[in-house]
A and B are shown apart, each in its own frame.
Chain A
Amino acid sequence: MTPTLQLFLIISAALFSFGLLAALSRRHAIFILIGIEMMLAAAGINFIAFWRFAPQPAPPTGVMITIFAIAIAAAEAAVGLSLVIAVYRHYRTTNVDEIDQLHG
């Protein structure tokens, strides 16, 4: 028995939910970023799985989109982490509940 497409989709749904859990329930800015990265990785697994299970020969579209998604996620991580450092310099905290100056 080989794993079917459904199993890969279920695993990626679970990974997405863990990412959502981290992004919504952690109060630390770095871990919100980690949650977003995990959700992006779940989307990548879906792209690769759909490419692999498509009728062959298929163009490598899923592979290409995953490569671009990895590049964009790396750019997002760099900017997000430098934002965390900049915010920490101003507020001396990285807890997103305490950064509420724009909160009316």
Chain B
Amino acid sequence: MNSVAFIIIAILTLAAALGAATLPKLIHAALSFALTFVGVAMFYFLLGAEFVGLVQVFVYVGAVAVLIVFTILLTRRDVDKDRGFNWNGVVIALAVFGGLIFAITKTSGLTIAPPAIAPLSVRQIGQTLMTDYVWPLQCVGLLLTAALIGALVLVMEEKR
């Protein structure tokens, strides 16, 4: 695992995440959000989970980011500026970050190097999905259908 690649991806992801959390222009923040998820997908590639990285790019950068941009354009009347910034949120986020860092650095046995692995093939993922995870897979299919119908019902114009 390449440490130069790790540093570059980490800087890209965290800078984009900070932009998505704080940029005042909403459309800039949405594009920054898409960049964050490209960075997360790069982390998945770096960790050897290529299939998950590709799924991440397809789902987030391809679908969810476009959905968010569409929603911003559809609700454009008052979205040009995000008025008001709640500073309590900064305090809470910093406190949570401090707590997590404390817990991570105090835990022993985390500074290990990655073991050598055989690459995880898509065939292997598919076989696991169809054997050990077939019930979760069906439940996710049902959930996606329900979410699709629910989203349609929510945005349907009411008849008067």
Contacts and interface: CB of A to CB of B under 8 A. Distances in A.
Given A3-B3, A13-B100, A25-B89, A78 B17 contact: no
A95 B78 contact: yes
A84 B75 contact: yes
A27 B83 contact: yes
Contact of A56 (B22, B68, B116): B116
Contacts, number: 257
The B contact surface, by secondary structure, is helix
14 contacts: A7-B6, A8-B43, A10-B104, A13-B97, A13-B101, A15-B36, A15-B40, A21-B21, A31-B20, A31-B82, A38-B36, A64-B129, A66-B49, A75-B147
Contacts of A54: 115
Interface in A73-93: 73-79, 81-86, 88, 92-93
B115 to A, nearest CB: 5
A11 B82 contact: no
Contact of A94 (B22, B64, B78): B78
A34 B30 contact: yes
A4 B110 contact: yes
Contacts of A16: 96-97, 100
Contacts of A34: 20, 29-30, 33, 68
A6 B111 contact: yes
A75 B151 CA distance: 9
Given A38-B17, A92-B78, A81 B71 contact: yes
A53 to B, nearest CB: 6
A85 B155 contact: yes
B121 to A, nearest CB: 10
Contact of B133 (A26, A64, A70): A64
Interface in B105-160: 105, 110-118, 120, 124-125, 128-129, 132-133, 136, 140, 143-144, 146-148, 150-152, 154-155
A31 B26 contact: yes
